[in-house]
Structure formats: structure tokens, C-alpha cells
Structure 1
């Protein structure tokens, strides 16, 4: 398949603050969040400016906890023509919640976001791609809550998440939800994670671009990229007491991320999930 300069790709932002990340679950408790400096609004404003400059549209998976404290930011995202979607309310991994806890969390986030923007919210992404074989009931909970699609699985092997033997293409599940898995590159009999996040920060840009281009050549499915607002913020407070592995994953190349993101915005055309994946939603 020939690469097309006008082929649109899905750009997604998981809107959470630096202290919400799963890597710091054992370091910072939810009871401490309110007392920590909040930087998510500042960082998201910078992202919105970059998207406007480069005429990119995106899906913002917004944490309910963040939306509740920054409703004007949510309205600004919506008013700029981006898709507002749900990242749940409390950033609890679906894999550690009961079915009742999960259902309450995703319903609370959806209602909150819809009340803020005055429009329907149909997309959901689980924190840390935490829907898998042990909690497939989550898809039924999402369907019952009124969501249209989920982007909560990553078909790779990873120490924190991963559904390597699940579909790599968007598909409608028996529960009625359309699942849009994160893209992987099939090479050397392995599935390589190429959807952004920490890998994009850690790897040189030329290698990430090469992987994206290879994916676009081998797959007819859309390419989807994700990142977090805290990833462009090298001045964020540091948790020196966090495990070394967590600190390495979280803090490496924060000072390089915004420049790499700008290159990505220039090199590809970006739209929301609702626009790029529309053929799968009919």
C-alpha cells in the first residue's frame, strides 16, 4: 500500500496530572492529590496551542477528577473542535476494580463530562490499558453506561498491561462496544508497541517515525498515537522516593518531548478517533 500524505491518523491525549500515573500508585495516594501542585491545565493549554498551530484535531480522554476541577479547560477543548472522551473518574485501573466499582466510575465520569460540555460523550480509555481477559465484563459495563467505543487494549507483551493475542484491528465486541486497540508493528515475529507514550519519549524520533511509516505501509487500519500532558513538562515536581524503574519511565526525556511532538504534528495529518474511525462505527 502506498503512503498517502492526506491519510488521517488518530491523535489522543490522556488528560491526567503527573501524580495520577499508575507508576506512582505506591508512592502517592489519592488522598494526597488535592494537596499537590496541579499542572495539568497549564500543560494542556500548551498542547491546545500546538494543535491549533499545526491544524491538528484530537480525542482528549479526560480524567473525571481533572474535569471536576477544571471545567473551563474541558469546555475549551470542546469549543476548539476536539473530541471530549472519558478516562474514567479516579484513575483506578479496571483490573483492580470490582464490576460495581468500575460501572460507577465510568458512569460518573461520563455524566460529569456531558454536563460540562452539553454534548454526548461516547469514547472511553481505561487507565493503563487495563481491560483484559480477567475483566471482560468491563465492556458490558461500558455498553450499559452508554459508551459507543473503547480504546483500552494494547496487543503487546508488557509488564503492566497487554493483550497480545487479542485483535489488532478495530472490532465490534459481543457486548456491543467497538474496541479500537492501540496499533502495533508486526516485525520479526513480534508485536512492537508504536503508539506513543513512554516509548516515543525514550526512542529517537527517526526510529519512531520509521515504525509509524512501516505500520502505515502494512496496515489498512488507522494509526493512533497517545501521550499525556505531563510528558511535556520537565519542571513538574519529582518524587524522589518512587522506585527507580518508575522514575526512569516517567522522567526520561521530558525536556525533549514537546519538540518531538511538534515534529510529529508536522509530519502527519491528525484527527479525532470519532472522525478517523468513523467507518467502524456504522
Structure 2
């Protein structure tokens, strides 16, 4: 089963970059998210293929027509937060306010309940277990925020790269993490974003052809070789963002030619959740604050904007 998802954010929504972190600066930057996402929509539409689009609330507020087009063409819309701040950099209240704001604007635009979530930076970890309770409390039933290749203490204790459930006293959260391929006894990611651009085409095809579970994810900027250079990033990160951009679109189209994909909702209906690994959300995990809980956060100050 191959799942096709997109994180709808603009070229300047790059994490860990003080020059572009503040939403107050974003309206002054040349947006490319509509033209890049429309190209994706046209490609999927020509193939009759459905996908799941995790949209930033900020993008939805500034480009409402784009979100309406995504929904009108039959695709699923989930939340990718409002202000693109990783969970582990927020307090619980700040995270909840950001989540609610993003869900409201998306639901108002699409007329549909938002029940899917993906955190910026795949930042749902056991240390942020309290976020699971917040997600469940606001109607999120499916999460796609777990990255498999983390240090043992920073990842959930489940087999790498496959679906699992997180159980809490408030319900269960279905988790569809990023998939990890195996080669020569090692695990690696190659099915999304920069990993897709950098990995040899043969490696990507083997992952898509052989593995039972593949979670792919892309950003509109992953196919935009004309995007501006991001102010404030190191040369190394600039290069990482741009390597493979010129060939990424053609590689993406070849993958769509060769393989079938499903959206998140279809994947959830196909998975036998009774046999999926279970992670109990312990009281310690649920009550543990963010590592930055005691610090004044940019996100707390600006979450209501």
C-alpha cells in the first residue's frame, strides 16, 4: 500500500531559520504555493488520483481559493498546524490554540471536518505525548507526524516504518508514520521530499515496489527549481533544499505512471488495526511538558495572530 500526501506550505516555510520564522514577515515574501500546488492538482486530476493535503492554516487564510480547489477536486484536507511550529517548541496551551485555529479555517473553507494531522518537522515524539490528548480532544483521529529514524529515546517503541496506534484514556490515535526502507541491514527514508530527490531512482522504485507500507510526502517547493534562495540559511542547507530540484518533477511523474497510490482515508480503511502495534500513552508521557515549557516562546506570543 502506497500513500500519497502533500504538506502545503510555501518555499519560505523552512524550520530552524530565524530570518523566516515569524509569520509577520511572510506576507512580504513572493508566494509560490498556489502555482506549485495547482500543478500538482492538474497532474493528479489527469490521472484520477486522490491524495491527502496537509495544509498550513496560515496558507489557508492567505490563499483560501487554493484550499477550496483542493477539496473541490475530491482530495482530503488535513491540518499541518497554523504557524508551522514544531510540537516540541510549544507549550500545551500554545499548541492547542494553534491547532484549533488551523482546523477552523480549513473546516470553514471546505465544509468538512478535519480529522487528519501532521506536525511540522514530524515532531510528535514520546516526549510530546501530551499532544496526543490535545489532538484527540479536538477530533483528530489519524496522525502522520512520526519520523522513523530517530534516536531510540526520541521515538515510539514500535517497529520502524509501519502503522501503529497510540492508546490513551481519552481514546486511540491512529498513526501512519513516514515509511523506512531496508537495505543491507540498514534503514533509510527515500519516499518523500529531499530524500526522494537525493536517493537513486532505483532505490526509490524498490521501496515502492517491494514494501507493504509506503508513506510518501512532498511539498509544492520540492518541484520548483525557480524558487528563491531562503535568506538566513547556511550554504549547506541551501544546497540541501535545491539538490535534485530540476529533475524532481519528471521523477515524480514517472513514479505516478508506474505505481498506484491511495489517500490517507483509504489507507486507514484498508489497514487491519486489530493487528497493528499498540503504544499505551502512559501518565508520565501524557503529563510531560515540552522541554521548553518554562521558557517564553515566540509561538505563545504570536499564536493568536
TM-score, normalized by the shorter chain, greater than 0.5: yes
Contact 1:231 1:254 in 2 (8 A): yes
Give the counterpart of 1:275 among 266, 286, 296: 266
Counterpart check, 1:28 vs 2:8: no
* Distance in structure 2 (CA, Å) of the matches to 1:195 and 1:251: 17
Contact 2:107 2:113 in 1 (8 A): yes
* Distance in structure 2 (CA, Å) of the matches to 1:194 and 1:242: 23
Q: Which whole-Å deviations, capped at 9, do the CAs of 1:166-189 have from their partners, x for residues lacking one?
A: 443222211321111111123433
Counterpart check, 1:144 vs 2:110: no
Q: Which whole-Å deviations, capped at 9, do the CAs of 1:105-139 have from their partners, x for residues lacking one?
A: 11111111001111111100000101112211111
Counterpart check, 1:64 vs 2:57: yes
* Distance in structure 1 (CA, Å) of the matches to 2:237 and 2:90: 22
Counterpart check, 1:46 vs 2:43: no
Contact 1:153 1:162 in 2 (8 A): no
Give the counterpart of 1:244 among 235, 247, 251: 235
Give the counterpart of 1:178 among 167, 174, 177: 174
Give structure 1 stretches of 5+ with no counterpart.
Answer: 1-7
Counterpart check, 1:211 vs 2:207: yes
Counterpart check, 1:224 vs 2:220: no
Give structure 2 stretches of 5+ with no counterpart.
Answer: 275-305
Range 108-117 or range 200-209, more displaced: 200-209
Deviation, structure 1 residue 75: 0.9
Contact 1:157 1:164 in 2 (8 A): no
Contact 1:16 1:62 in 2 (8 A): yes
Contact 1:14 1:87 in 2 (8 A): yes
- TM-score scaled by length of structure 2: 0.82
Count of residue pairs brought into register by the alignment: 267
